[in-house]
C-alpha cells in the first residue's frame, strides 16, 4: 500500500452537504425531547465529523468524548470494550448519540453500546459518517449514516492509515487496495 495512489471518494462539499442533512434528521428526532442530548465522539477518528455534525444539529447538545481500547479479532464479540478515557460519568436521564467515523464489521460500536449501559443513559443512538456495508458482521443497526461504501479502506476526514491522512478535508482511498 506504500506506493498506492490517493483517490477522492467524497469531496469536502459532498461531506458538508450530507452532514447538514443528517443534522436536520437528528434535529427532527430530538427537538421534542425534554431531556438533555449528549453527543459522545469516539476519538480519534470521529473528531472532524463530530465537529461538523454538532454544528448542523439545531437542538442544544452536550459534548463528551470516548477513547476505546482496540481489541483483537471477532471472537470477543460478546465482550465489552475497555474505555481508555471517557469524559463523562453518569448519563442518567440523558439521550446519548454515539458518533463514530465508520462502521465496518460493527463489533466496535456494538461493544461500546453494550458498555454504555453501565452509565445508565435514557437512550442510545448510533451515528456514523460512513458505513462499509460489505464488511458488516454484527447485527447492529445504525440510526444515522452519511454514506455507504463497499469494501474499500478509506482515509481522510478523521480516518487514518497508520495515523496518517486524518487531516484531509475529504474522504479518499488508496488505489489498488481492496482490503
Ligand atoms: P469495526 O469494529 O469493524 O466496525 O471497526 C470500526 C473501526 O475500525 C472504526 O472506528 C475505525 O477506527 C476503524 N476502521 C474501519 N474501517 C476503516 C477504514 O476503511 N479506514 C480507516 N479506519 C477504519
Ligand atoms: Mg475508530
In tens, the pLDDT along 32-59 reads 999 999 999 999 999 999 999 999 999 9
How far, in Å, from the CA of 158 to the mean position of ligand 2? 9
Of 6-15, 22-31, 72-81, which range is least confident? Answer: 72-81
Mean of pLDDT values over 76-82: 63
Pocket of ligand 1 contains residue 101 by CB under 6 Å: yes
- Count Cβ atoms within 10 A of the Cβ of residue 42 and give its class: 0-12 exposed, 13-18 middle, 19 or more buried: buried
Catalytic residue annotation: 104
Pocket lining: 45 vs ligand 1, CB cutoff 6 Å: yes
Burial of 2 (0-12, 13-18, 19+ CB in 10 A): exposed
Given pLDDT bands bounded at 50, 70 and 90, which one contains residue 18? very high
Which atom of ligand 1 lies nearest, measured to the CA of 137?
A: 3
Res 1: pLDDT: 52
Closest of 111, 119, 90, 92 to residue 42, by C-alpha:
111
Question: Which ligand places an atom closest to the C-alpha of 66?
Answer: 2
Of 159, 160, 168, 172, the residue with max ligand 1 atoms within 8 A of its CB, to mutate for a pocket test, comes to: 159
Measuring from atom 2 of ligand 1, which residue has the nearest CA? 108
Q: Which of 60-74, 108-122, 126-140 has the lowest mean pLDDT?
A: 60-74
Whether the ω angle into residue 44 lies within 30 degrees of 0, i.e. cis, is yes
Query: CB of 102 closer than 6 A to ligand 1?
Result: yes
Relative to the alpha carbon of 138, which ligand is closest? 1
pLDDT digits (tens, 9 = 90+) for 136-174: 999 999 999 999 999 899 999 999 999 999 999 999 998
Q: What percent of the chain has pLDDT over 90?
A: 84
Nearest CA-CA partner of 41 in 3, 88, 82, 74:
88
Strands 95-103 vs 83-86: parallel, antiparallel or unpaired: unpaired
Q: Is the pLDDT confidence value at 74 over 80? A: no
Question: Helices (DSSP H) in the chain: which residue ranges?
Answer: 12-30, 47-56, 107-116
Amino acid at each position: 500500500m506504500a506506493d498506492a495512489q490517493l483517490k477522492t471518494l467524497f469531496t469536502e462539499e459532498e461531506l458538508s452537504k450530507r452532514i447538514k442533512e443528517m443534522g436536520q434528521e437528528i434535529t427532527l428526532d430530538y427537538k421534542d425531547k425534554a431531556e438533555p442530548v449528549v453527543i459522545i465522539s469516539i476519538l480519534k477518528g470521529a473528531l472532524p465529523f463530530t465537529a461538523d455534525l454538532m454544528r448542523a444539529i439545531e437542538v442544544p447538545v452536550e459534548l463528551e468524548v470516548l477513547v476505546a481500547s482496540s481489541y483483537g479479532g471477532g471472537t470477543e464479540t460478546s465482550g465489552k470494550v475497555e474505555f481508555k478515557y471517557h469524559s463523562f460519568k453518569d448519563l442518567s436521564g440523558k439521550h446519548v448519540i454515539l458518533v463514530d467515523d465508520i462502521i465496518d464489521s460493527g463489533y466496535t460500536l456494538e461493544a461500546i453500546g453494550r458498555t454504555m449501559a453501565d452509565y445508565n443513559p435514557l437512550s442510545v443512538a448510533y451515528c456514523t459518517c460512513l458505513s462499509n456495508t460489505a464488511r458488516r458482521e454484527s447485527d447492529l443497526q445504525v440510526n444515522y449514516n452519511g454514506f455507504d461504501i463497499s469494501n474499500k479502506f478509506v482515509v481522510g476526514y478523521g480516518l487514518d492509515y497508520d495515523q496518517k491522512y486524518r487531516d484531509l478535508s475529504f474522504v479518499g482511498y488508496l488505489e489498488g487496495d481492496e482490503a
